Every structure is written in structure tokens, then in C-alpha cells.
Amino acid sequence: MNSNSVIDPSAKIHESVSVGPFCVIGPNVEIGPNCILHSHVVIKGPTRIDEGNIFYQFSTIGEDTPDKKYQGEETFLEIGKSNIFREGITVHRGTIQDKSKTVIGDGNLFMAYTHVAHDCVVGNYNVFANTAGLAGHVTLGNYVTLGAFTLVHQFCRLGDYSFTGLNTIITMDVPAFVKVAANPARPIGLNSIGMQRNNFDTESINLIKKAYRVVYRKGYSLEDAIKHLHELNSQSHPALETFIASLENSERGILR
């Protein structure tokens, strides 16, 4: 613990945690083993941080939300394992109007100046390129890549392995495996490169390509497209089930 940092006596910090100079750790903060806080990190509670996370300078973690409905209620932030928070990122706690909690999973990379707003749920192994931002109540799946300057509207859902291009503005849900780009966002194909990098076999990739054509090329309504996908999924293929679920679970409607 660097002597130039300010740490509240009630904070629970594992003995293996490294705290650099000029950090501020408030009350009701719990930090697990092998975390590293470089200089000028601010963590406000109630916040629980699991093991192996790395925080770079000027990151602000667990701050009050600027949502005007927030009136100082006790709300929470939970962070999983082995995430990297680069320079200047901001993560806010939840609000009582939702589940009172913002949640971040494991193995995510948040590049410089990214933002996770109140009540977001971020899965595992996602990549946020510089200045990508999530508005409140967004749900992000697993292995999602957000390109630089991507902005996601409140309450949107982004499915597993989806991908956004540079400067993409998202106002509706993005199905699993789908690439989107532009302002406003539009689908531009499948994230087949991402599937290959994550060890999907050729059969799975080809099956998702067929499913993509059903949804985006055949002219079906979404309801009819989902019926055709269930017929295509007669053998319960895991990748196709993920794709179908991302369509069926959409509440704002999907980008088409």
C-alpha cells in the first residue's frame, strides 16, 4: 500500500493487492487477491471486486450514477475476475429502479476512456476499444467486441460474439454473431473471423451463415424467421441455439 493513497479503514483489501500512489479507496469496498491498482485509481462502494483485476491511472470505479432518479440509495457494483481497466474509464453502480446493481463478469478488456453506466450487465471476455460506451441498463453477452467510439443506447442487448465497427451508434438489439457498423447501426454480416478465433468449427460457422440468411436475406418477418430457424435446428446445435435465443430474448427489437 503506497503511503500517498487514501484508504478507508472499513475497506476489505486482500494482503496481496498492490495499491500505487494517489489512489482513493472508499468505505464498503472489497478487493480480492492479486489485484493491481496503478496510480490515481478511485474506487467507491458498495463495490465488490474479485481476484486478478488490474486498474490503470484515472479509472473511476463504483461512482454514483448521474441518473437524475438517483437519490443516494445504497446500490452496488460487482466485478468478476481478471479484468483489465485501462486509463480513464468509468463504471457506475446501479439504481433501485432496476436491480440496484451493475455487474461485470470475467476476463474483459476495457481500453482507455470507456464507460459502463448504471445497471449494465457485462458478461465475460468482451473487448471495449477506446471510448466505447454503454448507456444504462445495457446487457452485453460474452466475447463481444465493441469498436472505438461505439455508443449503445439504454436497455439494448448485444448477443454473444457480436461485433461493432468504428463509430457505431446502436439503438436496437444486436443478435449473437452479427457484425454491425455505421450511424445509425446496420447489420453488415457475420463475425465469422471472431468465430474462427474462438474455435468454432466449419460446420457451426456454415450453419450460422444459413441462419443469418434466413433472418436478413429471405424477407421473412422476424416471427416467421424464428420458426424457420427452429426447423433448421432439429439437432439442437449449440451455436444456432445461441443465435435463436438472442432473437427471442430481444425486447427492443433487433437491428435488421
Task: Specify the pairing of strand 133-134 against strand 115-116.
Answer: parallel
Instruction: Please classify residue 248 by burial: count the beta carbons closer than 10 Å to its beta carbon, then call 0-12 exposed, 13-18 middle and 19+ buried.
Output: exposed
Helical (H) or strand (E) element with 96: none
Q: How far apart are CA 92 and CA 207, in angstroms?
A: 39
> Closest Cα to residue 77, out of 32, 29, 16, 10?
29
Give the distance between the most distant pair of CA atoms in the chain: 64
Catalytic residue among 32, 136, 147, 194: 136
Catalytic residue among 38, 40, 115, 118: 118
Residue with cell 457485462: 122
Classified as helix, coil or strand, 230 is helix
* Residue partners of 196: CB distance under 8 A and separation at least 6: 205
Is 136 designated active site?
A: yes
Is 119 designated active site?
A: yes
Catalytic residue among 50, 106, 119, 173: 119
- The pair phi, psi for residue 255, each rounded to 5°, is -70, 130
Instruction: Please classify residue 71 by burial: count the beta carbons closer than 10 Å to its beta carbon, then call 0-12 exposed, 13-18 middle and 19+ buried.
Output: exposed
Q: Which residues are catalytic?
A: 118-119, 136
